[in-house]
């Protein structure tokens, strides 16, 4: 099986309708906290997202 590349992804996505793309992104948003954080960081929740990851890093760093 060939490696799935960014070019493959772009080709696959270019064949979808706007509604299909919205559904695809909505599914990713619902199922992956990193995707949710990415979109929150694009909006007004940047400070909340940064704080969340800062707390995770500090907790992990202090554990060692």
Within a domain: 1: no
Would you say the C-alpha torsion 24, 30, 33, 36 has a positive or negative sign? positive
Q: The pTM is what?
A: 0.63
Within a domain: 48: yes
Within a domain: 53: yes
Within a domain: 19: no
Within a domain: 21: no
pLDDT, tens digit, 9 for 90 and up, residues 6-61: 999 999 999 999 999 999 999 999 999 989 888 888 877 677 778 888 888 988 88
Tell me which residue of 60, 37, 61 sits closest to 47, measured CA to CA.
Answer: 37
Asked if 49 and 37 touch (Cβ cutoff 8 Å), the reply is: yes
């Amino acid at each position: 099986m060939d490696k799935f590349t960014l070019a493959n992804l772009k080709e696959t996505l270019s064949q979808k309708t706007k509604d299909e793309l919205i559904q695809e992104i909505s599914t990713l948003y619902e199922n992956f906290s990193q995707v949710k954080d990415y979109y929150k960081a694009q909006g007004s929740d940047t400070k909340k997202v940064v704080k969340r990851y800062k707390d995770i890093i500090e907790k992990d760093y202090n554990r060692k």
